[in-house]
Amino acid sequence: MKIELNERSPYLFEIPKQDAMNVPALVYASKEMVDAIRHEEGLRQLIHMSQLPGIVKAAMAMPDIHSGYGFPIGGVAAFDWQNGIISPGGVGYDINCGVRLIRTLLEKKDIDLHLESIINRLFQEIPSGAGGKKKKLRADLKGVISQGSQWAVKKGYGEQRDILFTEDNGCMPFADIEHISKRALERGQHQLCTLGGGNHFLEIDVVDEIFDAPVARTFGLFEQQIAVLLHTGSRGLGYQICEDYLKAMQKDNATNQRSLPNSQLACMDILSPKGQAYYSAMSGAANFAWANRQMMTHYVREVFQAALNISPRDLGMDLVYDLSHNVARKEQHMVEGKKQTLCVHRKGATRAFGPGHHSLPLEYQQTGQPVIVPGDMGTASYVLCGTQKAMEETFGSACHGAGRVLSRSAAKKAARGRSIADELQEKGIMIRYRGRSTLAEEMPDAYKNISDVVEVICQAGIAKKVARLRPLGVIKG
């Protein structure tokens, strides 16, 4: 059934509050995107989001919207901290799946002759694929879960500066291992410093266009610069935490006859014991993900230094920013002219905090935070910066990627008889992967045009374009 969307302003469409909706539903999109979005199951999920208790302002979706479990991918919803809910389906299975952008002092010409060697070494050093494990690495899970990136740096995996340029300094403070099941801990025990499968990747990119020179300088970016993009999350530990709490909340909701439009939206009052237990476990998974990305950053540095026979100083491999896109956080925002404490769910959406926000590093106080938007492995990725308008309209949120247009099964069907690896090679992109099916599922045709998605966000004013990155080498699971 087609759902009508009313144009509220250019690049913003609305489903007015009606029937069981507690708030309206908003979608950031272009007129060209709207026809496809009207038929998207994710739009129905957005309406269901709007019916949850304690939601404030609106249920929102970014232009990369597509169907997910519970909330749509690209969904943003904020709930009153005192009277609202928290939902594992509003966070997702891959808790704190996130993107990390690492810059270097190198130019493309500096690595042209070494690219294959670097890609091969990275592929060997950092396990990928769904079951990937880091050999001889057994995690101190209590330290990882309570301290996140800070644990990794204390153990020698990186620098103090890395922590300063990670959201929340790489650690959510309410994590407690006591709220995480034995099964979840077992799944995470050997998965630190692993990439995983699906849409996770490690990419060597070149900066091929600068859109805002002053902000790019602040971020340390310049044309023809070599950069690294890293996209992964909390692996099996986060997946199991989501599974555990979904089942527990679904059972509780059924027992207490909580009326929900879909059982995938299972939830608890934020301040209830079970709600707080999930928040604590989710925070632990978020910390695991930050430690995971931090440790991989350490090995990426080592590989570049060894392959190029270069010193850390000459390499200049510094973290631009690390940001997550599957987390619920306690935040304060202005709602109807008043500051309100909220639980902000961003599922397949990312923070885009504007200039002056207290959580940003001093260097980014004037620019707003870096917003990293990866595209598919065959086109481009973008670096944006957050704006004050995002703070006013979207709880400081923006899109997290291109968004799928083909399901994984549809992508595999479309890839039959094709060699996606050869197609990428013809574009000058070196690819390493564990599973042929993953490559088919993640082929460029499976995703929306990243430039169109980014254009919507920027025209809507909730982020500004800073730079574009083009892939040279990609590692997939």
Active site residues per annotation: 400
| Cα gap 57→239, rounded to integer Å | 30
Phi/psi region, residue 19 (left: phi>0; alpha: psi -120 to 50; beta: rest), is: left
Q: Which candidate, 198, 184, 191, 183, places its Cα nearest to that of 135?
A: 191
Q: Which residues contact 242 (CB under 8 A, 6 or more apart)?
A: 88, 91, 92, 93, 95
Residue 113, Cα to own-chain centre: how many angstroms? Answer: 32
Q: Which tokens in the block code for residue 470? A: 């083009």
Q: Are 191 and 233 in contact (CB under 8 A)?
A: no
How far CA 224 is from CA of 374, 442, 448, in Å, comes to 18, 26, 26
Least Cα distance to 232 among 308, 325, 299, 169 occurs for 325
Is residue 156 packed enough to be buried (19+ CB in 10 Å), middle (13-18) or exposed (0-12)?
exposed
Left, alpha or beta for 118 (phi > 0: left; psi -120 to 50: alpha)? alpha
Rounded to the nearest 5°, which phi and psi values hold at 387? -135, 165
Buried b (16+ CB within 10 A) or exposed e, 289-322: bbbbbbbbbbbbbebbeebbebeeeebebbbbbb
Looking at residue 472, its amino acid is L
Q: Which two tokens stand for residue 172?
A: 């959510």
DSSP-assigned letters across all residues of 91-134: T-SSTT-EEEEEEEEEEHHHHTTTHHHHHHHHHHHS--STT---
Length of the chain: 477
Is 428 exposed, middle or buried (CB count within 10 Å of its CB: 0-12, 13-18, 19+)? exposed
